[in-house]
Amino acid sequence: MAIGENQSKIEFSKNLKSLRMGLNGVEKILTDMAIGIKISMK
């Protein structure tokens, strides 16, 4: 039981890490787009 529980915790933290990386990627894309829009507005 404890082994299975530990395994799911590891899976959860992996998923959390990849989710966080995905969000950082989205944030970077949005920032780049915003900068691009600002430049093109000038």
For residues 36 and 3, the model is more confident at 36
CA distance 22 to 15: 10
Half-sphere exposure of 18 (CA within 13 A, CB side): 5
CA distance 31 to 34: 5
Tell me the whole-structure pTM to 2 decimals: 0.58
Half-sphere exposure of 42 (CA within 13 A, CB side): 5
pLDDT band at 5 (very low <50, low <70, confident <90, very high): confident
CA distance 41 to 30: 16
pLDDT in tens, 9-38: 999 999 999 999 999 999 999 999 999 999
